[in-house]
Amino acid sequence: MARGFHEPGDKPKRFYNAVSVAAMNDGFTVMLDRRGLRGPKGSPTILPTRALAEQVAEEWAGQGEQLALAGMHAMRLANTALEATPDAREATARSIADFAGSDLLCYYAVAPAGLLKEQERLWGPILDRAETELGLRFIRVVGIVHQAQPLETIDRVMTMALELDDFGLTGLAFGTALFGSAVLAIALQLGWLGGEEAFALSRVDEAWQEEKWGVDEEAAERTARLNGEAVMLDHWFRALTAA
């Protein structure tokens, strides 16, 4: 069987040639040569759709002579969904609900006026849709002083999270932390936004500052990396619902 992940910092050499996807145990797995992929705990990596297995397979196929494990985000999400989330569903959903309690999209800039208008223009429609279609009412404030959100909203976010399967819940938790916003993660999961759009909405403040003052190379590299993770997550959610 194919080996799982090594310890952080270890860079094992590529130990396979061909990568393929095969049906297995009412799902699909990634084959490295003739060996089925297994997670860190040794359990078979069985994914619910062929599209999701193909997404993971692309990460393995794209590796060079050494495995860049830290950049294999879909593989890491799959491991989490299979080996961690099942025993931590309540805690995972609670973490998403906690983000909703102080959601990024609810805190608007005091100044400058142009940034405030930009936030209202970009964030307002998402919050409005969340309230209209999902019953998620959020209180919006200007400034950074914490504003408690309606308990029914927090409870509704947690209920929505728990309604997802382990793969959807894992993706939602990843997106919530990535964006600093449960609302944006839910919007991405539901297909209201694409990955790049959701990521752009999560960094309106930063983009405003960059437009005024420029951006250094290190910050640009970080932005590109996080944007790539958002695109990966978009593909993850779409793959979960693929026929």
Summarised one tens digit per residue, pLDDT across range 152-163 is 999 999 999 999
Is residue 8 in some structural domain? no
Q: Work out the angle at residue 175's Cα, subtended by the Cα atoms of residues 173 and 177, and round it to the nearest 5 degrees.
A: 70
Cβ-based neighbour number of residue 33 at 10 Å: 11
Q: Which of the residue ranges 31-35, 49-53, 207-211 would you say has the lowest mean pLDDT? A: 207-211
* C-alpha span between 86 and 170 (Å, rounded): 10
Q: Are residues 106 and 154 in the same domain?
A: yes
What is the per-residue pLDDT across 11-42, written as a single tens digit (0 to 9) for each? 789 999 999 999 999 999 999 999 999 999 99
Examine the fold and report which residue of 37, 68, 83 is the final residue of a domain before the chain moves on: 83
**Shared domain check, 100 and 55:** no
What pLDDT was estimated at residue 9? 53
What does the DSSP assignment read for 74-137?
Answer: HHHHHHHHHHTGGG-HHHHHHHHHHHHTT-GGGEE-SS-HHHHHHHHHHHHHHHHHHHHHH---
What is the pTM for the complete model shown? 0.93
Give the DSSP letter of residue 158: H
- Residue 3: the pLDDT is 36
Name the nearest CA neighbour of 37 among 234, 88, 54: 54
| 146 and 232 fall within a common domain | yes
Last residue within a domain, chosen from 35, 53, 83 = 83
Residues 70 and 117 in one domain: no
Q: What is the CATH number of the domain that holds 108?
A: 1.10.3580.10
Q: Report the alpha-carbon distance of residue 195 to residue 243 in Å, rounded.
A: 21
Same domain, 124 and 217: yes
Residue 48 and residue 164 in one domain: no
211-242: pLDDT as tens digits: 888 888 898 999 999 999 999 999 999 999 99
Q: Are residues 224 and 118 in the same domain?
A: yes
| Co-location of 116 and 26 in the same domain | no
Is pLDDT above 80 for 57?
yes
Same domain, 39 and 112: no
Q: Are residues 216 and 118 in the same domain?
A: yes
Domain enclosing residue 198, as ranges: 88-240
**pLDDT surpasses 80 at 164:** yes
CATH number at residue 76: 3.30.2180.10
Point out the domain boundary residue: 36, 63, 83: 83
- Count of domains in the chain? 2
Q: How far apart are CA 229 and CA 200, in angstroms?
A: 12
